[in-house]
Structure 1
Amino acid sequence: MNVCCLLDNSQVAFGVDLDLLKTSTPFPKAIETCLKGMVYSIEDIFFQFNPKNRPFIKEVREACRLLRTTGAQWIHERKTAMENGDDVPKDILTQIIKSAGQEDSMTKEDEEFMLDNFVTFFIAGQETTANQLAFCIMELQNKTFTINLIKYGSAFQDCCSLTYTFIHLFTSLQVLKETLRIYPTAPGTSRELPEDMVISGIHIPGGCICIFSSYATGRMEKFFKDPLTFDPDRFHPDAPKPYYCYYPFSLGPRSCLGQNFAQMEAKVVMAKLLQRFDFTLVPGQTFDILDTGTLRPKSGVVCTVSHRNDKK
């Protein structure tokens, strides 16, 4: 899934073909290393000062350097093409460059801004979507969900065909939304309070950082009946909307910049996979979760894959 989403992300968002079907790439490992480094530094503010952590810190710095060097190269190539009047795709990379301003007025901060945005989209657009699809396949193939597999699987299979309808749109989105309810790949978010607030009788002073767990709220009986049951009908268009207890992309003006791209990517990739392949979970597949900055299946999704003979 990581390679699939990385290939899709690099082509659609940045107009670069990494040719991952024929060559290997260090990017998935670099992305995973950066995320681990972020988590460790948040959990332990003294992590970088511990001598035994120096080898890993070196790995993190090298991974960050790889991603930022790659970003600088791709940005330079795209800027050169734009300056030469060449036709360039109207993708995320082009918008990143345009948002930074004109070349003659661009400052060092503008250049860093472009690189920061590149790394954000490059990491978030690959890692989180790949994990979401892994969890989605795991649940679609779960024996307790087999009765609904035809209903929801067919919606994905028709997603990219001429028979695609709004019914299939809502059905496939229901599956993806329910996947993120139980397995939010970004398990939480944070906000800094601008002023004092009283919440449930508790006084919280302004300036405090509040941590919100979408993983916890998505699994609470208070908000969702039988919360551990995978039921995409919770997100049927006619169902009550779960306001403020479901926020896999955060909420408000600081919500995820790439959420629309991520959901479209997830829907299309899942549709293509189910059109071409049959997945069957191997016996003993665990549903344990590992938190490495994003949530992922701890043991991966172990399944047998067979090609559909009637699909090209």
Structure 2
Amino acid sequence: MEAKNTFQIQVFLSCILLFGTLSTKSLEVGYYKCTNTCPQAEEIVRGVVYKYVLQEPGLGAGLIRMFFHDCFVRGCDASVLLDPSYLNPNPEKLAVPNNPSLRGFEVIDAAKSAVEQVCPGIVSCADIIAFAARDATYFLGMISYEIPSGRLDGRISIADEVLKVLPTPFHNLTVVKALFAAQGLSADDVVALSGAHSIGRSHCSSFTNRLYPTIDSTLDQGFGYLLRSKCPENAPVDGVVPQDFVTPTKLDNKYYQNVKGLKGLFFSDWSLLTSDETANLVNDFRTTPQFFEAKFAESMVKMGNIPLLSGTPGEIRKSCRAVNY
């Protein structure tokens, strides 16, 4: 797989059918071109994402994280986008890992609006998230890949499900690997997708347990004192810091250099060093950026293929924030 190249969506003469989801559709590379239902869909989304990420790179990091948080809960069905409603007052959006830290909802809204003007009722919000994460990956790291599409939007979103399936910054490697394995993802995927911690910001509350009352031995002590200066103990406001102090707006392999040097923010970052299997891959990604880029792209596509839970058939939402009635 070529990880760095001119950003261009390659649509083969015969579309590539990947597999059927439980929402009655099949995923294909270039689905909207292949079916001639909305050939401009990916280009439209890309233009919207470019505009927002150019203004605020952190939104690109938020879109990649949104894709991750969406796919791990009920599959990639845009359930993370649903707002609270009378019938569902506690959707995924309000779960602790998502509220208030998840960013980029306005980008998805803008992309959906732009697509609807050209192809009303055709492009799912779930596909828009997948396209947006792919595009943000390119704009932040020059990493390109083809993402299959043809997903439907889910109608179920339950906040209580999120913490049961989503890895947290406090988890050790055993727990993280088990949660990934439940989604059909490997230890290699754990290490590759953790590379997204190279961009974006983190709230202090996600790692201050490593700073107080003493700086954890799993953290570089000098780095720990730097973090203390940014995140005072018992601060009245939960501050934020870059997840990567070296290249905070670039998706690159500096994250693995940080992990190797005990300068990763999270306990889950450090835990990658506790197994030969994952520690060796950290070192490989640290020394060979092209290897990281290829594996990150591969893992993003693989994550996008997590199948939906069985149950209510999906739909194409009119608004990404509400189910159709």
| TM-score normalised by L of structure 2 | 0.30
State the TM-score, normalized to the length of structure 1: 0.31
Which protein is richer in helix relative to its size? Answer: 1
- Comparing both chains, which one has the higher relative contact order based on Cα–Cα distances under 8 Å and sequence gaps of 6 or more? 2
